[in-house]
């Protein structure tokens, strides 16, 4: 039983060895010429103007969440389309109900102005 995992273990050992070897070769043979400009923040030579922890607009997160919700709908529609014939009228009614609720949710979000970027 353990012999079945030997190729996988060997693959992981070889892959890890190659990764470590490439990192070591890069450190040893790579150019090392740090200059004052390269050591400055953001590699641009300019100091930071303000705090990096600035607040984002809440609408950015709201649109991201709405996109995820309406994008996940496709994850339900594709499998349903594949087994549509086996489900019959029951499957059609269930998917119709699901899509109706989704359209109602989309209309609500649109009416509330959540898709408007001011």
Q: Is the pLDDT of residue 46 over 70?
A: no
What does the pLDDT average to over 77-101? Answer: 89
pLDDT category, 104, cuts 50, 70, 90? very high
* Rounded to 5°, angle at Cα 53 from 49 and 54: 75
Give the model's pLDDT for residue 74: 81
Contacts of 42 (CB under 8 A, 6+ apart): 48
Contacts of 63 (CB under 8 A, 6+ apart): 114, 115, 117
Q: Is the pLDDT of residue 44 over 60?
A: no
Give the model's pLDDT for residue 49: 65
pLDDT category, 16, cuts 50, 70, 90? very high
**Quick one: which of 116, 109, 74 has its CA closest to 95?**
74
């Amino acid at each position: 039983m353990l012999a079945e995992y030997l190729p996988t273990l060997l693959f992981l050992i070889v892959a890890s060895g190659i990764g470590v070897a490439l990192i070591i070769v890069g450190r040893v043979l790579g150019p090392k010429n740090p200059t004052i400009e390269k050591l400055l923040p953001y590699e641009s030579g300019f100091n930071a103007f303000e705090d990096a922890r600035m607040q984002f607009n809440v609408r950015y997160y709201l649109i991201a969440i709405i996109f995820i919700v309406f994008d996940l709908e496709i994850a339900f529609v594709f499998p349903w389309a594949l087994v549509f014939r086996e489900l019959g009228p029951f499957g059609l009614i269930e998917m119709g109900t699901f899509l109706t609720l989704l359209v109602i949710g989309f209309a609500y979000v649109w009416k509330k102005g959540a898709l408007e970027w001011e």
